[in-house]
Amino acid sequence: MKYRYLLYIMIIGLLFSCKPELDEYAYDSGSADFSTYVSLGNSLTAGYMNGSLYRTSQLNSFPSILAGQFAKMGGGAFEQPLMEGEYGIIAGKLKLGYSTDCLGATSLGPVPDDGALDPIASIGKMVNNMGVPGAKSGHLLFPGYAQFNPYFARFASDPNATVVGDAMAMNPTFFTLWIGNNDVLGYGTSGGVGDTITSQTWFAGYVQTIVETLTSAGAKGAIANIPDITNVPFFTTVPPNGLVLNQEQAAALNAALGSLGFQFAEGPNYFIIQDASSQIGFRQMVEGELLLLTVPQDALKCEYMGAVNPNTGAPNPIPQQYVLTLDQIDQIENAITGYNATISAIATNFNLAFVDFNAILKEVEEGIIADGETLTTEFVTGNAFSLDGIHLTAKGYAYVANEFIKAINMKYGSNVPMVSITNYEALELP
Amino acid sequence: MRKIITLTLLFALGIQVLIAGGYQVRLQGQKQTGIGLIGTPFNYGASSIFYNPGSLSFMKDDYSFSGGVSGIFSNVIFRAQNSDYEATTDNPTGTPFYFYGAGKVIDDMAVGIGVYTPFGSSTKWADDWAGRNLIQEISLQTIFIQPTVSYKLSDKIGLGAGLTIATGSVDLRRRIVPPVDGQFQMEGNTTAIGFNAGLYLNPIEKLKIGVDYRSKMTMKIDDGSTSFTEIPTALSDNFPASGNFSAELPLPANLDAGIAYAFNEKLTLAVEMNLVFWSAYDSLIIDFKENNEQLVDSRNPREYDNSLILRLGGEYKISDKLVARAGIYYDPTPTNEDYFTPETVSLNTFAFTLGLSVMPVEGLSIDLSYLQLEGLEDDRMYTPDNFGGTYHARTFIPGIGVSYSF
């Protein structure tokens, strides 16, 4: 039967068509309604990239990519609080460039990318992408958050508005919610000293309220969980055993600190860090502990940070804001496990599409290949993470968008097409 | 380790078009093309040099010449897996040609020479298409020269063999994946030697049987040139503007066997099978002459399987001046399930042929053929690059030739 059909096609082909064809793609929104889509979340939803939120990064935010696909099956316009320029409202954007370190060695790495900033002012309209860089779960419900967060101030309907309230004012038919990273990330990026971890009880209450509100008028949506943040390049790039010694230096360090139980050998050694819980106030790092990307590299290289100054004999431990200890990592991971249990339960209770970014980041760690391109969690060469080591590249966000699409299609029986990640940029090498 | 894998993938180059050619269709004679590309159980004059040297000595006249050309109009459409992303090739028109000359030295022995292009293809995708990291454009040309001797052992048995001298060139362009994100091109040419031997049987007048074997050839490119452009300055030392590579490509052996039966003076039907020893194509290794930590040699799995092509054709003499032909065949893909690349979209292919010979004067034949191939729509994947989707190919090949015997 199949061949008769084929023969039939061939005869028609001979008569009418010179080009091969495929059946039209079957666009289908399933049981979802994409006509008014709003996205809520933090910097990852806003499209933060390379240490900044700027026009190109916003245009490559995962909600923007998603909305582009939704538009093919009934999705309406998707407003973003777009910047005018490429440098955002706060300085700090990074680019890949050459810099010369204290030893006079020039190397390629993140360098400041300075340019004219956008003004911190309201853009005077409501937007669909309500990703607010810096937002924790509770912030989305906090009246007056715009007075503390200039990113929200740009599109808040009122200085006392809440993010969720403004979202509801859009009358959404569909939403994505990816919140909770900052409830633990601030603790992590400050080495466990500059912020606190949101309690499980509060987190569960916040997310419950947010989702209750968002679904109160019948909107459907997708919710994503929290990846293990200690596996992103911000925490994994600087090696904790980067103290490379020759025989002579190791002997000198052993002479200075051997009596305190420290041991150094020729080759790589674990750095010395501050630790208030140690009797002498410092100790050597141990396997599994992490150094932050922000640790001053020149101090490590030229000021004996993490080692002992041979001229004075004084130890120069790395300050604790650049270090995550095993205990701190445990706290972070326990918090994430708890948050994710909450998110997963809420996804089930509210019958939402669920995106398991915790599992997805683990896959990316192993290396994911798509269209010949490889995404890993490696800094710079991994293609997924931008130069701040926490936020994604456009390619990374396209991958995120595809994961949302997979989950949405599975939940709602829709057939939203995925995007080709080759069509999105990774980092640009000079 | 991961870095090594990544960088190896950067160079997952392939040139299988050289040997697979969605077009290992044998356009080496318009008469044979018209009858389903069946050639072994026939003597159509000098073109037997390619199809079956064993039947060459059965040519009726003392001298036979034949030449022709075809136009390959081919296109592929692709839709990415789980996506509405579509791309279509913009392939240039291929023009394979052939020329044969043969003469009888003595009554039972003929010698001849053939020049033909059995492998040749062009695939051109848009430079910015989603598969650009696998292939943007590949073009291949080969020319085979085959001096041939054929001997008629009796009125019922003919043997023949030829030495095959092949020259080939390949030109390939593709993108180097991020973070390098540059442009790569390589080109090379080579020669190889093989043979073509055939046996022809005519046990009873109405029945003709042919068997032909064409040997495997290894196209070994020793001094191909590479070029990297649009490379970030930071990596320009690793990806030099010019360099050299070597690579080896097996052209697989073919075993063909066919039977033709003349039901009456007008109608002849024929069947043929071609066993193509594609398993010779296990992997493609690109050896860059100058390696560095970024630029490593690449081993690309292909793992082809042998394939069996089945053909059915018929010929009908409308008059002394007019012969019509038609045929069909099925050519299953030799590609491995895990290693299907868009360089050569070699799908399971169903084809039909039409042919017409006009003989205005004694000895002269003007031969027309038409071949249409339908690469059956299928979901295919190149797993090392995780690139795949739905492919559908269609090819039209009109051809014209002239033969003259005296």
Please give the pLDDT value at position A250: 92
pLDDT in tens, A88-126: 999 999 999 999 999 999 989 999 999 999 999 999 999
For A60-96, the pLDDT digits (tens) are: 999 999 999 999 999 999 999 999 999 999 999 999 9
> Minimal Cα distance from A109: which residue of B?
B234
Strand-pairing partners, residue A96, are A110
CB-CB: which of A72, A108, A418 is closest to B234? Answer: A108
Structure tokens at A397: 């966000």
The pair of three-digit structure tokens given for residue B48, joined into one six-digit string: 């037997």
Please identify among residues 192-231 of chain B the ones whose CB lies closer than 8 Å to any CB of chain A.
none
A384: contact with B, CB 8 A cutoff: no
Q: How far is CA A233 from the centre of its chain?
A: 10
Residues of B numbered 145-184 whose beta carbons fall under 8 angstroms of chain A's beta carbons: which are they?
Answer: 177-181
- Report residue A5's pLDDT band, with 50, 70 and 90 as the boundaries: low
pLDDT single digits (tens) A260-302: 888 899 999 999 999 988 889 999 999 999 999 999 999 999 9
Contact B244, B223 (CB under 8 A): yes
B387 vs A371: CB contact, 8 Å cut-off?
yes
Residue B26 sits in which domain range?
Answer: 2-405
Q: pLDDT tens digits, residue range A296-323?
A: 999 999 999 999 988 888 899 999 999 9
Closest Cβ opposite residue A429 in set B2, B9, B179: B179
Å from A424 to nearest chain B CA? 10
Which pLDDT score, from 0 to 100, does residue A192 have? 85
Contact B235 A374 (CB under 8 A): no
Q: What pLDDT does B284 receive? A: 80
Residues of A in contact with B93 (CB under 8 A): none
**Which domain CATH number covers B127?**
2.40.160.60
Whether the complex's predicted ipTM is more than 0.95 is answered with no
When pLDDT is cut at 50, 70 and 90, the band that residue A4 belongs to is: low
Name the domain count of chain B.
1
* Three-state DSSP class for residue B100: strand
Q: Which of A420, A423, A424, A425 to mutate to test the interface with B (most CBs of B within 10 A)?
A: A420
**A422/B75 Cβ within 8 A:** no
Of chain A, the percentage scoring pLDDT greater than 90 comes to 86
Helix axes A326-349 and A200-215, enclosed angle (nearest 10): 30
* Chain A residues within 8 A of B5 when measuring between CB atoms: 367, 374
| Interchain CB distance below 8 Å, B386 and A367 | no
CA distance A420 to chain B (A): 7
pLDDT digits (tens, 9 = 90+) for B80-120: 999 999 999 998 888 889 999 999 999 999 999 999 988 77
Compute the mean pLDDT over every residue in chain A, rounded to the nearest whole number. Answer: 94
Fold of A37-229+328-423: Rossmann fold (3.40.50)
Of A278, A287, A288, give the one whose Cα is nearest residue A317. Answer: A278
- The minimal CB distance from A19 to the residues B75, B130, B131 is found for B75
Strands (E), B21-134: 63-70, 73-80, 86-88, 97-106, 109-116, 120-124
Note whether A5 contacts B: Cβ–Cβ < 8 A: no
Domain ranges of chain A: 37-229+328-423, 243-287+290-324
- How far apart CA A372 and CA B387 sit, in angstroms, is 7
Cβ of residue B396 closer than 8 Å to a chain A Cβ: yes
pLDDT of residue B287: 92
Q: Phi and psi at residue B119, in whole multiples of 5°? A: -125, 130
Q: Any long-range contacts for A311-318 (C-beta under 8 Å, 24+ apart)?
A: A313/A256, A315/A256, A315/A257, A315/A272, A315/A282, A316/A272, A317/A272, A317/A273, A317/A274, A317/A275, A317/A281, A317/A282, A318/A271, A318/A272, A318/A273, A318/A274, A318/A291
Residue B399 has pLDDT above 80, yes or no: yes
Which of B130, B180, B392 is facing A423, going by the closest CB pair?
B130
Contact flag A429-B376 (C-beta cutoff 8 Å):
no
A26 touches chain B (CB under 8 A): no
B9, closest residue in chain A (CA to CA): A372
Cβ–Cβ of A430/B233 closer than 8 Å?
Answer: yes
Q: Quick one: average pLDDT of B224-245?
A: 93
Q: How far is B393 from chain A (nearest CA, A)?
A: 6
B219 — pLDDT class (breaks 50, 70, 90):
confident
What whole-number distance in Å separates Cα of residue B336 and Cα of residue B330? 18
